[in-house]
Amino acid sequence: MRRSVITVAALAVGLLPAASAAAAHSRAACTEGMSKINGVQVRTFCGPARATVAIGGRGYAFTQGSCTRTADYFSINIGATEIGASNPTKPYFGIFVGRMPGTSLPRAGRDGVYANAVIGFHSGAMRASVKGTLKLTNGRSKGTFTGSLILKSGAASGSFSC
């Protein structure tokens, strides 16, 4: 499980551009970018993106994030990812679906249903990675997902908007 969450986090750090200065000023409560907290590299995401996750009868909500849409892939990153931390303390939610640069995975360049989505999140003591089906709608600005937990038994579902 940890490896999958770290993979999602690594994708987020390597693929997403920083927010524009104008957008950063409009969200004074959130400072986007890389920082170091207690010796750990932290990538913070800001913006209007939000998501909810249901797992094992419990719900989790995530706010302050951004989406990236290219001809090859879709990704959403919300919260902050603590790179290399074995017990992250900050909430994080991320999805990546489509063709990662340098691979031959199927593209995710339009609305539709994609069976190869990777979803990772952590909030408090809950850490989970999900491999599942993602439905992108509204110009890839909204979506839903369902899938099986990786390295745990159970299922997860949720929704998001950019």
Q: How confident is the model at residue 113 (pLDDT cuts 50, 70, 90)?
A: very high
Helix, strand or coil, per DSSP, at residue 117: strand
Look at residue 53 in the predicted model and tell me its pLDDT: 96
Each residue's pLDDT tens digit, 35-75: 988 888 999 999 999 999 999 889 999 999 999 999 999 99
First-to-last C-alpha distance (Å) of the chain: 26
Q: Which of 138, 132, 144, 122 is nearest to 51 (CA)?
A: 144
Q: Give me the chain's average pLDDT, please.
A: 82
Domain ranges of the chain: 2-161
Look at residue 28 in the predicted model and tell me its pLDDT: 53
What is the pLDDT averaged over residues 120-130?
89
pTM beyond 0.85: no
> Cα separation of 126 and 151, whole Å?
13
Please answer whether residues 49 and 66 qualify as being in contact, where contact means their C-beta atoms are separated by less than 8 angstroms: yes
